[in-house]
Amino acid sequence: MDVTPGQLMHAVEVDTLCKSYYKSTPVLKGLSLQVPLGKIYGLLGPSGCGKTTLLKCVVGRLKPDAGVVQVMGGRPGKPGHRVPGNLIGYMPQDLALYQDFTVSETMYYFGRIFHMPSQEIDRQTDFLVTLLELPSKRRLICQLSGGQQRRVSFACALLHRPPLLILDEPTEARQGHMVALMRDGRLLAEAKPQELLDRYNDSSLESVFLKLCEMDSEDSLPDTSAAASSTSAAANAAASTSEIVTENSPLLPKPSNHDRSLNSSPAGATSNSNDGDSLPNLLYKEYVPLGDSLRSVFALPSLWHILAVVGKNFNNLRRRLTFLAFQFILPIIQIVLFCVCVGGDPFGLTLASVNLDSSGELGAKFMTYLDNNTFHVKPFKNLEEARTEVRNVRAWAVLSLGANFSTDLLARFSNPTAATNATLSGGSVHLQLDNSNYQVSLMIQKSVAESFQKFAGDLLSQFGLSPELVSLPVVMDAPLLGTDNPSFTEFMAPGMIVTIVFFMATGLTALSFVLERKEGLLDRSLVAGVTILELMLGHMLTQLLIMAGQTGLLLFFSLVVFQVPCHGSVLWVILLALLNGFTGMSLGLMISALCSAENSAIQAALGTMYPNLLLSGIIWPAEAMPQYLRFISRGLPISQSVEAMRSVLSRGFGFTAAPVYLGFVSAIAWASGLLLLALLLLRIRGI
């Protein structure tokens, strides 16, 4: 049961705390301790004995498996209790600072999380820079020495003048009012340092610790040699400490006179005299507005926290202008390259021609009908020479006309019933292709066929016959949807627009949490009181603004500069593109929640891109896939959106058409699912 502030005697109370990671060997084994108000409490123990684990339970970053932890009268993480939050100042073991921020930007970020007004942040920053002898508040963190960076980290913990300081950092435990000696997840002793030295008649805490380890090992290990080696190993590592500093303890710095007048003692906080030591009057100052307290009770995200995260993100981007510029240039490069390189008709194709027609002028005449733009015609005297040209990859095809081309062609038209196979073949254009390139082969066949049709049509007109006699008896009436002469660009453009927006957003967000997790940055924000949801919303808001810019540029270049036809409303195109950017961002957040390392996040983002590109009917119609793949294809995040985009751009459909609204529904469903999954993963993994 939580105690009321009036009864508060201990800043931290831990009762039979047990904790293990992933159900492995227990790290904390029924540990109990009490940290009185107004004291410095040092935890001394060998590396790996569980000090950080204990402190993480205290600050609310880890949940106990069993036992109770009370911090400032409440359980960490309990709704409405400001632990994590501004009741504690936390200096994690890692540096946990943004290397590209200045000292004052760092302070500003944490100050905003603690709801401190700007002037107050400035005043405290100036005070702490002087107190901790930092060079200048305008210096970048990466330009500070290791020791100075540690002091900035300490300053962050002190910034809001918390009543409880948790320092996961080796210092001299002897200065503490109380010291606890920890070993293997248990407390061996807890007393004032001098008391321990007197009790064990020794001059150093390390020696006392060694004695306690020996006694502990004798109790638990029957083999004395094993006990001895275990205790010496423990003693060797015994310099490692962590500290809990509570309000009014001497480690907390004195505020300026002005600051002091603002302070007020929280109810129940005893102003301890610490055995006669004079203590600085630094008291906790309440910064949390009532509205925010209520919101935290009902677990609603705080706009203040979200804006602090957005501000921090933009500051980060401001420091990385090249990266930001790249984010806007990249979609432009992609769409420009697509529009310039993909979907156009191949041209300038070398054609090795052999005109052996000696029976008339028609062979030479037909040659003039070949499209000069599509073909570069290279004449040859005999067929074998022309074939060698193709075999040596110097031409795409051999086009040949037989010796009786003119007479056989005229015979075919004038007396079709008498035409033999030899006549039909002699009056035909013969093509031998380098068939290794499907699109080029198709283009050559199409162009030669069109040229022949035009040539033969003109010939028939000279005889007073209809040119349509040489057309296939299949009539293409005006299309019901789409255009008369659609290009491959038109087919691919909707998919490319959706893909670029989607994966640019994925790439942008895939590293969000991975980078924050690095060096404990995320931990510090969370202990300061920012929730996972607020962090996520902060990231989303930042990325949304960038993504909106990217989408605008992409659509401008595709629709306006490259004139990709849009037969429907541009509004739906914009909304669909933005929605897909949002879905891509959700995928990125999910990846960043899932991956711990940068390279695995990048690989995951890239890994999702190619299957989507191939399976979503972007490069080739989904109708060409086997049935079972078509089924999978339909369920992918961008497939329905690509179809919706195609329906708006090429078919001119509005929102009420099924392919269009299904695209919206699918994108919204995927975005919601991915965001939920990201939140779940972040919670499960404890980020």
**Is the sign of the CA dihedral 673, 679, 683, 684 positive or negative?**
positive
Angle 484-488-493 from CA coordinates, rounded to 5°: 105
Which whole-number Å values give the CA distances from 650 to 45, 97, 407, 478, 486, in the listed order?
70, 51, 47, 15, 9
Q: Smallest gap, in angstroms, from Cβ of residue 553 to ligand ATP?
A: 42
Q: Smallest gap, in angstroms, from Cβ of residue 205 to ligand ATP?
A: 15
CB nearer ligand ATP, residue 49 or residue 410: 49
597 binds ligand ATP (CB under 6 A): no
Q: Smallest gap, in angstroms, from Cβ of residue 24 to ligand ATP?
A: 7
Q: Smallest gap, in angstroms, from Cβ of residue 57 to ligand ATP?
A: 10
Provide the CA 393 distance to its chain's centre, in angstroms.
Answer: 46
| Residue 397 main-chain phi, psi, to 5 deg | -160, 160
CB nearer ligand ATP, residue 43 or residue 505: 43
47 binds ligand ATP (CB under 6 A): yes
Cα 560 from Cα 553, distance rounded (Å) = 10
CB nearer ligand ATP, residue 50 or residue 111: 50
Options 50, 495, 520, 581; binder of ligand ATP; rule CB under 6 A? 50
Cα 587 from Cα 504, distance rounded (Å) = 11
Binding span for ligand ATP by CB under 6 A among 47-55, 219-227, 353-361, 568-576:
47-55
Binding track, positions 401-420, relative to ligand ATP; x by CB under 6 A: --------------------
Sheet holding 10-20, edge to edge: 26-36, 10-20, 66-71
Options 10, 51, 151, 177; binder of ligand ATP; rule CB under 6 A? 51
Cα 149 from Cα 152, distance rounded (Å) = 5
Residues between 639 and 668 with contacts to ligand ATP, criterion CB under 6 A: none
Query: Which residues lie closer than 8 Å to 132 by C-beta, 6 or more apart?
Result: 151, 152, 154, 155
Q: Smallest gap, in angstroms, from Cβ of residue 517 to ligand ATP?
A: 12
Options 31, 53, 59, 115; binder of ligand ATP; rule CB under 6 A? 53
Residues contacting ligand ATP: total by CB under 6 A: 12
Sheet holding 186-191, edge to edge: 88-91, 164-167, 241-246, 40-44, 178-183, 186-191
As a three-state string, the secondary structure of 108-158 is HHHHHHCCCCHHHHHHHHHHHHHHCCCCCCCCEHHHCCHHHHHHHHHHHHH
CB nearer ligand ATP, residue 380 or residue 513: 513
Options 32, 93, 263, 441; binder of ligand ATP; rule CB under 6 A? 93
The two three-digit tokens of residue 332, written as one number? 């432009």
Residues between 284 and 323 with contacts to ligand ATP, criterion CB under 6 A: none
Tokens 């001895």 label which residue? Answer: 228
Query: Which residues lie closer than 8 Å to 106 by C-beta, 6 or more apart?
Result: 97, 98, 141, 152, 156
Query: Which residues lie closer than 8 Å to 344 by C-beta, 6 or more apart?
Result: 487, 489
Q: Smallest gap, in angstroms, from Cβ of residue 26 to ligand ATP?
A: 9
CB nearer ligand ATP, residue 42 or residue 331: 42
Q: Smallest gap, in angstroms, from Cβ of residue 152 to ligand ATP?
A: 20
CB nearer ligand ATP, residue 50 or residue 84: 50
CB nearer ligand ATP, residue 168 or residue 643: 168
| Residue 241 main-chain phi, psi, to 5 deg | -135, 160
Q: Smallest gap, in angstroms, from Cβ of residue 229 to ligand ATP?
A: 18
Q: Smallest gap, in angstroms, from Cβ of residue 62 to ligand ATP?
A: 9
Q: Smallest gap, in angstroms, from Cβ of residue 106 to ligand ATP?
A: 23
Cα 132 from Cα 233, distance rounded (Å) = 35
152, 103 contact by CB (below 8 A): yes
- 620 burial class (0-12, 13-18, 19+ CB within 10 angstroms)? exposed
525 binds ligand ATP (CB under 6 A): no
396, 434 contact by CB (below 8 A): yes
Options 30, 48, 549, 673; binder of ligand ATP; rule CB under 6 A? 48
Q: Smallest gap, in angstroms, from Cβ of residue 52 to ligand ATP?
A: 3
Binding span for ligand ATP by CB under 6 A among 50-58, 128-136, 196-204, 392-400:
50-58
Element (H, E) at 70: strand 66-71
CB nearer ligand ATP, residue 220 or residue 425: 220
CB nearer ligand ATP, residue 157 or residue 386: 157
Binding span for ligand ATP by CB under 6 A among 51-59, 316-324, 487-495, 595-603:
51-59
Q: Smallest gap, in angstroms, from Cβ of residue 28 to ligand ATP?
A: 8
Cα 246 from Cα 271, distance rounded (Å) = 11
488 binds ligand ATP (CB under 6 A): no
Query: Which residues lie closer than 8 Å to 137 by C-beta, 6 or more apart?
Result: 102, 103, 104, 107, 125, 126, 129
Cα 532 from Cα 299, distance rounded (Å) = 11
CB nearer ligand ATP, residue 120 or residue 516: 516
CB nearer ligand ATP, residue 105 or residue 523: 523
Element (H, E) at 401: strand 397-401
49 binds ligand ATP (CB under 6 A): yes
Binding track, positions 4-43, relative to ligand ATP; x by CB under 6 A: -----------------x-----x----------------
From the list 61, 70, 162, 1, the residue with the least C-alpha distance to 524 is 61
Query: Which residues lie closer than 8 Å to 627 by C-beta, 6 or more apart?
Result: none
Residues between 555 and 574 with contacts to ligand ATP, criterion CB under 6 A: none
Q: Smallest gap, in angstroms, from Cβ of residue 234 to ligand ATP?
A: 11
Binding span for ligand ATP by CB under 6 A among 45-53, 198-206, 359-367, 541-549:
45-53
Q: Smallest gap, in angstroms, from Cβ of residue 676 to ligand ATP?
A: 25
From the list 352, 362, 456, the residue with the least C-alpha distance to 402 is 362
Options 70, 86, 217, 240; binder of ligand ATP; rule CB under 6 A? 240
From the list 452, 485, 498, the residue with the least C-alpha distance to 644 is 498
Binding span for ligand ATP by CB under 6 A among 48-56, 125-133, 368-376, 616-624:
48-56
| Residue 264 main-chain phi, psi, to 5 deg | -140, 145
Q: Smallest gap, in angstroms, from Cβ of residue 511 to ligand ATP?
A: 21
Crossing angle (nearest 10°) for helices 627-635 and 598-615: 130
CB nearer ligand ATP, residue 50 or residue 162: 50
Q: Smallest gap, in angstroms, from Cβ of residue 194 to ligand ATP?
A: 24
Q: Smallest gap, in angstroms, from Cβ of residue 46 to ligand ATP?
A: 7
From the list 278, 235, 280, 239, the residue with the least C-alpha distance to 257 is 280
| Residue ranges binding ligand ATP (CB under 6 A) | 21, 27, 45, 47-53, 93, 240
